[in-house]
Structure 1
Amino acid sequence: MLALAIAAGFALLGQWQLDRAISSGEVVERSTEIVQPLSDTVSPDGPPPKVAEGQMIETTGSYVPGDEQIISGRHNGGETGFWVVSHFVTDEGFSIPVARGWTADADEAEAIRERLATQMSILSLQPLTGRFLSSEAPVLPEDGADPHTMTTVSTAALINLWANWSDQPVYQGYIVDSVAPEGLAVIDSPEPEVEVPLNWLNIFYALEWAVFAGFAVFLWYRLVRDAWEREVEEAEIAAAAAAETSAGSPDETSGPAGADRSHANAP
C-alpha cells in the first residue's frame, strides 16, 4: 500500500506540473486594433517590447524628402512586388521607417519614390496611423544581384542610407502605413495571430513524475506477486509434507497389535 500511496503522490505532482505548463501558456489578450500613441507603445533606441508587436499606433511628424528606399521581394495579396519606405521624424525628433505602400512593378516603384522625394517637405507636420512591427534583420543581396538591393526593412541598414541622419534617436521597428500614396496599394497588414507558448520544461517534469508513478506501481506489483508466489510455494510444501506424513503412518490392521487382535478373535 505504501508503494501505491507513493505512486498517487507522483501522479498528483505530474498533474500539478501539467497544470503549470498550461497556465503559463495562457493567452494574454491584446487590443492590437485599438490605436495607441507611438510614444506610449515603444521607446526609441531600444528593443521594442513584445506587446508592441503588431500594435496599431498613431503619431505626428513629417517625412524626410530624399530618404525613400525600395524594398524588393515583398508579398501583397499573393503577389510579389516592392515596398516604398520613407524616413519619418516624429514631432519629438525621433526617427522611424514607414512602409508607404506596395506595387508589383519595379519601374513604377522607382517613379513613385522620385515623386515622393520632391513632393514631401520636412517642415509639414502630418498625422500618421499604422501598424508597428519590429525591425527585420538585414540580408545580403544574392550573387549577381544589385549590391544596393534591399529585401528587408532593417533600421540598422536604413539609417546608413538616410542623408541627414546624425545619431538621432531611432525606433527599432517600422510602421506599415494604413493608407497609401497615389500609385501604391495599401500594404496587407492583418491583425497578428496569437500564439500560445507551452512551457516544455514543466511538461518534461510532468512526464518524469508519470514515469516515477509507473515505477512505483510496478514495484507494488512485484512485491505483491513475490508475496503471492511465496504463499503458493509454502502451501505446496505444506501439502507435500502432509501427503508424505499420511503415506508413512502404519495401517490400523497391520503390525503386532493387529496380529494380537487376529489371534484373539481366532476360534
Structure 2
Amino acid sequence: MTPALSPRYWGAHLLALVLVAAAAGLGWWQYAAYQAQQEAEARDLTRADPVSLAEVMGPDDPFPAPSVGQPVTVEGTWVPTGTVYVAGREHQGTDGFWVLTPLAVGGADEPALPVVRGWVASPHDATAPPEGAGSVQGWLQPAEGTGAADDDRTDDVVPQVRTADLIQHVEQDLYGAYAVVDHDAPVNEALVGADALEPADLAALPRAAGSTGLRNLLYALEWVIFGGFAGFVWWRYVRDLTRAPVVEAPSEPEPEDRPVASTT
C-alpha cells in the first residue's frame, strides 16, 4: 500500500479536503453576494408597475439613483411655450431630435417635469405641442450633463436634457429629472395619437458602480487563495510521504596510517 493511503494519514487527507471544500463554498458565497449587489443596483425597472411621481421624488429633491427607468404617472398642465428639440438623438439608425414639452405638476405655475413626447427627424416634422391639462406615463430619467454647450440660446434646439438649458425656456422651476413617454401605455393613447411621433429611446438605464460589492469580491478572492494554499500544502505533504528515501552509498574507509619502517 502506498504510504500516503495508510489509515494513519486519513485524518490529514480529510482535513485537507474539508479546508478546500470550505474555502470553495465560502468563496462562492461571497461571489454570489457580490453579484446580488451588482444586480440590485443595476436592476431594470422599465417593466415595473408605474407609480406616482410624488412617490419617487419632489420638485426640489435630487434624482434618486435607484429609480432610473422607473415608470411614473404625472398629472398637471402642459407648458407648450417651453417646448424644445433635443439634438443628436438617434432612432433606428437615423439621427434626429427629441420633442420635449414640460408638464407643470399640479397648477400651471407649479414646478414642471420635462416630458419627452417622441422623436422626429427634423423639428419641422413635429406636431403642435399639447395644451391644457394632461396626464402621462413615462420612464423617469436623470437630467443629463454631457458638458455640451448650447451655442444659440435664442432658438428651441438644445444639445442635451439639462436643467440649466431647459430653464431658459420656461417661467417656473423644473424637476431635476425628465420622463420619456411610453407609447404603449393606455393612458398615453390620446397623446400619442395626436402627436404622431416616433417613440424616443431611453438614454439611461441603471448601471452598477465599479465599487459595488467590491468587498465581497475581494473576500471571494481571498478564499480562493486560501483553498489553493491548503491544496498546495496537502500536495507537498503527500509528495514527501511517497518519495522514496535516498540511500547514500557507503563511503570507502580511508587507509590507515602505517608506521614508517626504520632504516637503522
Shorter-normalised TM range: 0.5 to 0.7
For 2:258, the equivalent position in structure 1 comes to none
Determine if contact 2:142/2:177 at 8 Å carries over to the other structure: yes
1:126-145 maps to which residues of 2 (within 5 A)? 126-141=134-149
For 1:203, the equivalent position in structure 2 comes to 217
For 1:212, the equivalent position in structure 2 comes to 226
10, 16, 23: which one pairs with 2:23?
10
173, 183, 188: which one pairs with 2:177?
173
What is the total number of aligned residue pairs between the two structures?
Answer: 221
* Structure 2 unpaired stretches of 5+: 1-11, 184-190, 253-264
Q: Secondary structure at the match of 2:81?
A: coil
Counting aligned pairs with the same residue, the percent is 27
Q: For the structure 1 residues 82 and 196, does the alpha-carbon distance in structure 2 shift closer, same or farther, using more than 3 Å as the test? A: closer
For 2:197, the equivalent position in structure 1 comes to 185
Give how far 1:62 is off: 1.0
For 1:20, the equivalent position in structure 2 comes to 33
Give the residue type in structure 1 aligned to 2:220: A
TM-score, reference length from structure 2? 0.66
Q: For the structure 1 residues 224 and 126, does the alpha-carbon distance in structure 2 shift closer, same or farther, using more than 3 Å as the test? A: closer
Give how far 1:26 is off: 5.0
Give how far 1:54 is off: 1.9
Measure the CA separation in 1 of the matches of 2:36 and 2:170. 50
Q: For the structure 1 residues 186 and 214, does the alpha-carbon distance in structure 2 shift closer, same or farther, using more than 3 Å as the test? A: same
For 2:77, the equivalent position in structure 1 comes to 62
Give how far 1:173 is off: 0.9
Give how far 1:182 is off: 4.6
TM-score, reference length from structure 1? 0.66
149, 155, 163: which one pairs with 1:155?
163
Q: Deviations over 1:168-193 (max 9, x none)?
A: 4x322112234347565142347x97
* Structure 1 unpaired stretches of 5+: 245-267
Determine if contact 1:45/1:172 at 8 Å carries over to the other structure: yes
Give how far 1:75 is off: 1.8
Q: Deviations over 1:33-77 (max 9, x none)?
A: 533222123222223324432222222211224222121111223
Give how far 1:14 is off: 1.9
Q: For the structure 1 residues 162 and 208, does the alpha-carbon distance in structure 2 shift closer, same or farther, using more than 3 Å as the test? A: same
Q: For the structure 1 residues 61 and 147, does the alpha-carbon distance in structure 2 shift closer, same or farther, using more than 3 Å as the test? A: same
Q: For the structure 1 residues 138 and 62, does the alpha-carbon distance in structure 2 shift closer, same or farther, using more than 3 Å as the test? A: farther
235, 239, 245: which one pairs with 1:221?
235
For 1:254, the equivalent position in structure 2 comes to none
Measure the CA separation in 2 of the matches of 1:172 and 1:37. 16
Give how far 1:152 is off: 1.5
For 1:265, the equivalent position in structure 2 comes to none
Determine if contact 1:138/1:157 at 8 Å carries over to the other structure: no
Q: For the structure 1 residues 47 and 228, does the alpha-carbon distance in structure 2 shift closer, same or farther, using more than 3 Å as the test? A: same
Give how far 1:214 is off: 1.6
Q: Secondary structure at the match of 2:82?
A: coil
1:31-46 maps to which residues of 2 (within 5 A)? 32-46=47-61
